[in-house]
Amino acid sequence: MEESKIFVVILVLSTVLIGLGIYLFMLDRRIKKMENEIKSNKD
Amino acid sequence: MNSFFKNNWWKLLGLTLILYSIVAGFLIEVPKLQGNIGESIRNLFFHVVMWFAMMVMFGNSLVRSLRYLSTFDIKHDLVAYESVNIGLLFGMLGIVTGMEWANFTWGTPWTNDPQLNGAAVTILAYFAYLVLRRSIDEDNKRARIAAVYNVFAFVMLIVFIGILPKMASGSLHPGAGGSSSTVSSLDPTMRLVFYPAIAGWIIIGYWLINLKVRMANIRQMLDNPEQS
Protein backbone atom coordinates (compact mmCIF):
# COMPACT_ATOMS: atom_id res chain seq x y z
CA MET A 1 0.00 0.00 0.00
CA GLU A 2 1.47 3.33 -1.08
CA GLU A 3 2.12 5.64 1.85
CA SER A 4 2.04 8.78 -0.30
CA LYS A 5 -1.74 8.36 -0.55
CA ILE A 6 -2.07 9.66 2.99
CA PHE A 7 -1.02 13.09 1.78
CA VAL A 8 -4.25 13.36 -0.16
CA VAL A 9 -6.22 12.70 3.01
CA ILE A 10 -4.23 15.38 4.82
CA LEU A 11 -4.86 17.76 1.95
CA VAL A 12 -8.59 17.05 1.87
CA LEU A 13 -9.05 17.47 5.62
CA SER A 14 -6.93 20.62 5.66
CA THR A 15 -9.09 22.02 2.86
CA VAL A 16 -12.23 21.25 4.84
CA LEU A 17 -10.80 22.96 7.90
CA ILE A 18 -9.54 26.01 6.04
CA GLY A 19 -12.90 26.26 4.29
CA LEU A 20 -14.63 26.18 7.67
CA GLY A 21 -12.21 28.80 8.95
CA ILE A 22 -12.94 31.11 6.03
CA TYR A 23 -16.67 30.66 6.59
CA LEU A 24 -16.32 31.52 10.27
CA PHE A 25 -14.31 34.65 9.51
CA MET A 26 -16.91 35.73 6.94
CA LEU A 27 -19.66 35.25 9.50
CA ASP A 28 -17.63 37.18 12.03
CA ARG A 29 -17.17 40.08 9.65
CA ARG A 30 -20.88 40.14 8.72
CA ILE A 31 -21.86 40.23 12.36
CA LYS A 32 -19.37 42.99 13.11
CA LYS A 33 -20.85 45.05 10.27
CA MET A 34 -24.33 44.66 11.76
CA GLU A 35 -23.06 45.61 15.19
CA ASN A 36 -21.40 48.75 13.78
CA GLU A 37 -24.58 49.65 11.90
CA ILE A 38 -26.64 49.40 15.05
CA LYS A 39 -24.09 51.40 16.99
CA SER A 40 -24.09 54.18 14.38
CA ASN A 41 -27.89 54.19 14.24
CA LYS A 42 -28.02 54.88 17.92
CA ASP A 43 -26.31 58.27 17.43
CA MET B 1 -4.92 46.14 9.61
CA ASN B 2 -3.17 45.54 12.89
CA SER B 3 -6.33 45.84 14.93
CA PHE B 4 -7.63 42.76 13.13
CA PHE B 5 -4.73 40.70 14.41
CA LYS B 6 -4.96 42.22 17.87
CA ASN B 7 -8.60 41.23 18.23
CA ASN B 8 -8.64 37.98 16.32
CA TRP B 9 -5.27 36.31 16.95
CA TRP B 10 -6.82 33.71 19.18
CA LYS B 11 -9.21 32.59 16.42
CA LEU B 12 -6.29 32.03 14.08
CA LEU B 13 -4.51 30.18 16.88
CA GLY B 14 -7.46 27.83 17.29
CA LEU B 15 -7.61 27.09 13.58
CA THR B 16 -3.85 26.61 13.42
CA LEU B 17 -3.88 24.14 16.30
CA ILE B 18 -6.57 22.07 14.60
CA LEU B 19 -4.75 22.25 11.27
CA TYR B 20 -1.63 21.06 13.06
CA SER B 21 -3.57 18.16 14.56
CA ILE B 22 -4.76 17.13 11.08
CA VAL B 23 -1.28 17.20 9.55
CA ALA B 24 0.64 15.78 12.49
CA GLY B 25 -2.21 13.41 13.33
CA PHE B 26 -1.57 11.57 10.11
CA LEU B 27 2.18 11.86 9.90
CA ILE B 28 3.36 10.78 13.34
CA GLU B 29 4.12 7.17 14.19
CA VAL B 30 1.41 5.54 16.26
CA PRO B 31 1.93 2.60 18.60
CA LYS B 32 0.76 -0.85 17.52
CA LEU B 33 -2.09 -1.63 19.91
CA GLN B 34 -3.83 -4.94 20.48
CA GLY B 35 -6.77 -5.96 18.37
CA ASN B 36 -7.55 -4.70 14.92
CA ILE B 37 -7.49 -1.01 15.77
CA GLY B 38 -4.39 -0.30 13.67
CA GLU B 39 -3.97 3.15 12.24
CA SER B 40 -7.51 4.13 13.23
CA ILE B 41 -6.18 4.96 16.70
CA ARG B 42 -5.49 8.31 15.07
CA ASN B 43 -9.20 8.93 15.59
CA LEU B 44 -8.12 9.91 19.08
CA PHE B 45 -7.23 13.30 17.62
CA PHE B 46 -10.65 13.75 16.01
CA HIS B 47 -13.19 11.75 18.01
CA VAL B 48 -11.91 11.81 21.59
CA VAL B 49 -11.01 15.51 21.41
CA MET B 50 -14.70 16.24 20.72
CA TRP B 51 -15.62 14.90 24.17
CA PHE B 52 -13.05 16.98 25.97
CA ALA B 53 -14.13 20.09 24.07
CA MET B 54 -17.77 19.28 24.89
CA MET B 55 -17.03 19.01 28.61
CA VAL B 56 -15.29 22.38 28.61
CA MET B 57 -18.27 23.94 26.82
CA PHE B 58 -20.69 22.50 29.38
CA GLY B 59 -18.35 23.58 32.17
CA ASN B 60 -18.39 27.11 30.77
CA SER B 61 -22.17 26.94 30.69
CA LEU B 62 -22.25 25.90 34.33
CA VAL B 63 -19.98 28.79 35.33
CA ARG B 64 -22.18 31.24 33.46
CA SER B 65 -25.32 29.82 35.04
CA LEU B 66 -23.80 30.23 38.48
CA ARG B 67 -22.77 33.79 37.65
CA TYR B 68 -26.31 34.50 36.53
CA LEU B 69 -27.67 33.16 39.80
CA SER B 70 -25.36 35.42 41.76
CA THR B 71 -25.74 38.61 39.67
CA PHE B 72 -29.05 38.14 37.80
CA ASP B 73 -27.37 39.74 34.80
CA ILE B 74 -29.22 38.23 31.85
CA LYS B 75 -26.07 38.39 29.73
CA HIS B 76 -24.68 35.38 31.62
CA ASP B 77 -27.79 33.40 30.86
CA LEU B 78 -27.37 34.00 27.14
CA VAL B 79 -23.79 32.77 27.20
CA ALA B 80 -24.81 29.76 29.28
CA TYR B 81 -27.46 28.90 26.71
CA GLU B 82 -25.17 29.23 23.70
CA SER B 83 -22.47 27.26 25.51
CA VAL B 84 -24.89 24.36 25.80
CA ASN B 85 -25.65 24.64 22.10
CA ILE B 86 -21.99 24.39 21.14
CA GLY B 87 -21.42 21.67 23.72
CA LEU B 88 -24.20 19.67 22.12
CA LEU B 89 -22.66 20.26 18.69
CA PHE B 90 -19.38 18.73 19.87
CA GLY B 91 -21.21 15.99 21.75
CA MET B 92 -23.25 14.94 18.73
CA LEU B 93 -20.13 14.95 16.58
CA GLY B 94 -18.53 12.78 19.23
CA ILE B 95 -21.43 10.35 19.19
CA VAL B 96 -21.60 10.09 15.41
CA THR B 97 -17.85 9.73 14.92
CA GLY B 98 -17.80 7.22 17.77
CA MET B 99 -20.48 5.15 16.08
CA GLU B 100 -18.56 5.26 12.82
CA TRP B 101 -15.36 4.17 14.52
CA ALA B 102 -17.14 1.48 16.55
CA ASN B 103 -18.82 0.02 13.50
CA PHE B 104 -15.50 -0.15 11.75
CA THR B 105 -13.59 -1.65 14.66
CA TRP B 106 -16.12 -3.69 16.62
CA GLY B 107 -18.58 -4.50 13.85
CA THR B 108 -21.43 -2.65 15.54
CA PRO B 109 -22.11 1.09 15.94
CA TRP B 110 -23.16 0.72 19.59
CA THR B 111 -22.59 -1.58 22.54
CA ASN B 112 -24.24 -1.86 25.92
CA ASP B 113 -21.36 -0.14 27.56
CA PRO B 114 -21.38 2.28 30.51
CA GLN B 115 -19.20 4.85 28.80
CA LEU B 116 -21.28 4.92 25.63
CA ASN B 117 -24.61 4.90 27.42
CA GLY B 118 -23.32 7.46 29.89
CA ALA B 119 -22.32 9.83 27.12
CA ALA B 120 -25.69 9.40 25.43
CA VAL B 121 -27.61 10.05 28.66
CA THR B 122 -25.51 13.15 29.33
CA ILE B 123 -26.33 14.54 25.92
CA LEU B 124 -30.01 13.82 26.47
CA ALA B 125 -29.82 15.71 29.77
CA TYR B 126 -28.54 18.77 27.96
CA PHE B 127 -31.13 18.49 25.20
CA ALA B 128 -33.63 18.53 28.06
CA TYR B 129 -32.07 21.85 29.12
CA LEU B 130 -33.05 23.25 25.70
CA VAL B 131 -36.56 21.84 26.00
CA LEU B 132 -36.89 23.31 29.50
CA ARG B 133 -35.87 26.75 28.27
CA ARG B 134 -38.33 26.64 25.41
CA SER B 135 -41.19 25.90 27.82
CA ILE B 136 -40.76 29.18 29.72
CA ASP B 137 -41.66 32.51 28.16
CA GLU B 138 -40.51 35.08 30.66
CA ASP B 139 -36.82 35.98 30.38
CA ASN B 140 -35.76 36.08 33.99
CA LYS B 141 -37.85 33.14 35.08
CA ARG B 142 -36.46 31.07 32.24
CA ALA B 143 -32.92 32.10 33.07
CA ARG B 144 -33.29 31.24 36.74
CA ILE B 145 -34.89 27.84 36.27
CA ALA B 146 -32.53 26.92 33.45
CA ALA B 147 -29.54 27.93 35.57
CA VAL B 148 -30.60 25.67 38.43
CA TYR B 149 -31.24 22.81 36.04
CA ASN B 150 -27.81 23.40 34.54
CA VAL B 151 -26.22 22.61 37.89
CA PHE B 152 -27.97 19.27 38.03
CA ALA B 153 -27.13 18.53 34.41
CA PHE B 154 -23.46 19.04 35.12
CA VAL B 155 -23.62 16.76 38.14
CA MET B 156 -25.18 14.15 35.88
CA LEU B 157 -22.34 14.66 33.43
CA ILE B 158 -19.79 13.97 36.14
CA VAL B 159 -21.65 10.87 37.28
CA PHE B 160 -22.40 9.36 33.90
CA ILE B 161 -19.11 10.15 32.20
CA GLY B 162 -16.64 10.39 35.03
CA ILE B 163 -17.79 8.04 37.77
CA LEU B 164 -20.00 5.17 36.60
CA PRO B 165 -17.83 4.01 33.69
CA LYS B 166 -14.86 3.61 36.01
CA MET B 167 -16.92 1.31 38.21
CA ALA B 168 -17.85 -1.02 35.39
CA SER B 169 -16.16 -4.39 35.21
CA GLY B 170 -14.77 -4.02 31.74
CA SER B 171 -15.63 -2.89 28.27
CA LEU B 172 -14.52 -2.67 24.68
CA HIS B 173 -14.23 1.08 25.08
CA PRO B 174 -11.03 2.24 26.79
CA GLY B 175 -11.31 3.79 30.23
CA ALA B 176 -13.83 1.51 31.92
CA GLY B 177 -13.24 -0.68 34.95
CA GLY B 178 -9.98 -2.54 34.67
CA SER B 179 -8.58 -1.13 31.43
CA SER B 180 -6.49 2.01 31.69
CA SER B 181 -8.03 5.29 30.66
CA THR B 182 -7.25 6.78 27.28
CA VAL B 183 -5.50 9.76 28.74
CA SER B 184 -3.25 8.44 31.48
CA SER B 185 -1.74 5.72 29.31
CA LEU B 186 -1.48 7.82 26.18
CA ASP B 187 1.64 7.36 24.08
CA PRO B 188 3.94 10.41 24.54
CA THR B 189 4.16 11.14 20.81
CA MET B 190 0.40 11.06 20.48
CA ARG B 191 0.11 13.40 23.43
CA LEU B 192 1.98 16.01 21.37
CA VAL B 193 -0.93 16.08 18.94
CA PHE B 194 -3.78 15.24 21.32
CA TYR B 195 -3.44 18.16 23.73
CA PRO B 196 -2.97 20.92 21.13
CA ALA B 197 -5.96 19.54 19.25
CA ILE B 198 -8.15 19.80 22.34
CA ALA B 199 -6.93 23.36 22.92
CA GLY B 200 -7.72 24.21 19.29
CA TRP B 201 -11.27 22.85 19.49
CA ILE B 202 -11.91 24.62 22.80
CA ILE B 203 -10.86 27.89 21.19
CA ILE B 204 -13.11 27.28 18.18
CA GLY B 205 -15.91 26.41 20.60
CA TYR B 206 -15.49 29.75 22.33
CA TRP B 207 -15.46 31.47 18.95
CA LEU B 208 -18.72 29.78 17.99
CA ILE B 209 -20.29 30.80 21.31
CA ASN B 210 -19.03 34.35 20.74
CA LEU B 211 -20.64 34.47 17.30
CA LYS B 212 -23.95 33.06 18.50
CA VAL B 213 -24.12 35.45 21.45
CA ARG B 214 -23.43 38.42 19.21
CA MET B 215 -26.11 37.28 16.76
CA ALA B 216 -28.62 36.92 19.58
CA ASN B 217 -27.79 40.41 20.85
CA ILE B 218 -28.24 41.88 17.38
CA ARG B 219 -31.55 40.10 16.96
CA GLN B 220 -32.63 41.45 20.34
CA MET B 221 -31.67 45.01 19.40
CA LEU B 222 -33.47 44.73 16.07
CA ASP B 223 -36.62 43.37 17.73
CA ASN B 224 -36.62 46.03 20.42
CA PRO B 225 -35.34 49.24 18.80
CA GLU B 226 -36.72 51.45 21.56
CA GLN B 227 -34.54 49.79 24.23
CA SER B 228 -30.89 50.85 24.33
Question: What's B107's domain CATH number?
Answer: 1.20.120
pLDDT at position B179 is: 54
Predicted pLDDT at B1: 65
Q: Which helix (H) or strand (E) holds B89?
A: helix B74-106
Tens-place pLDDT, residues B7-24: 999 999 999 999 999 999
Chain B residues close to A14, C-beta within 8 Å: 19, 22-23
Determine the residue of chain B that is closest to A35 in CA distance.
B218
Cross-chain residue pair A35–B214, CB shorter than 8 Å = yes
CA B118 from chain centre, in angstroms, equals 14
Report chain A's C-alpha Rg in angstroms: 19
Q: Is the pLDDT reported for residue A41 higher than 80?
A: yes
Domains held by chain B: number: 1
R_g over Cα of chain B: 20
Closest residue by Cα to residue B192 from B51, B24, B55, B23: B24
Give B219 to chain A, closest Cα distance, Å: 10
- How high is the pLDDT of residue B172? 79
For residue B31, pLDDT over 70 is answered with yes
Judged on CB neighbours under 10 Å (0-12, 13-18, 19+), B37 is middle
A22 touches chain B (CB under 8 A): no
Residue B33 lies in a domain: yes
B67 lies in some domain: yes
The torsion angles phi and psi of B135, rounded to 5 degrees, stand at -85, -5
Q: What mean pLDDT do residues B155-172 have?
A: 88
Is residue B227 a part of any domain in this protein? no
Model pLDDT for residues B85-103, shown as the tens digit of each residue: 999 999 999 999 999 999 9
CA distance B46 to B68: 33
Within the 179-218 window of chain B, which residues sit less than 8 Å (CB to CB) from chain A? 204, 207-208, 211, 214-215, 218
Residues of B in contact with A24 (CB under 8 A): 11, 204, 207-208, 211
Specify the pLDDT at position A6: 84
Please list the helix, strand and coil fractions of chain A in percent, rounded to the nearest 5, in that order. 90, 0, 10
**How many inter-chain contacts (A to B, CB under 8 Å) are there?**
41
Give burial (CB, 10 Å; 0-12/13-18/19+) of B19.
middle
* B1 CB within 8 Å of a chain A CB: no
* Amino acid B217: pLDDT: 95
Residues in chain A: 43
In a domain, B82, yes or no: yes
Contact of B227 with chain A, judged by CB distance below 8 Å, is answered with no
- Here the contacts of B101-104 (C-beta below 8 Å, separation 24 or greater) are B101/B40, B101/B43, B101/B47, B104/B40
Please give the single-letter amino acid code of residue B175. Answer: G
- Answer yes or no: is B179 within a domain: yes
pTM score: 0.92
Measured between beta carbons, which residues in chain B are less than 8 angstroms from residue A25?
8, 11
Cα angle A10, A15, A17 (rounded to 5 degrees) comes to: 95
| Residue B198 located in a structural domain | yes
| A8: confidence class by pLDDT, cuts 50, 70, 90 | confident
Task: Say what the pLDDT of residue B128 is.
Answer: 98
A21, A27, A34 member nearest B15 (Cβ): A21
Range of the domain at B145: 12-216
Q: Assess if residue B224 is contained within a domain.
A: no
Q: In this structure, is residue B194 part of a structural domain?
A: yes
Find the residue in A nearest to B221 (Cα). Answer: A38
The Cα–Cα gap between B77 and B65 comes to: 6
Lowest mean pLDDT among A33-42, B15-24, B52-61, B193-202: A33-42
Evaluate if residue B208 carries a pLDDT over 70: yes
Name the DSSP class of B109. S
Which chain A residue has its CA at the smallest distance from B208's CA?
A24
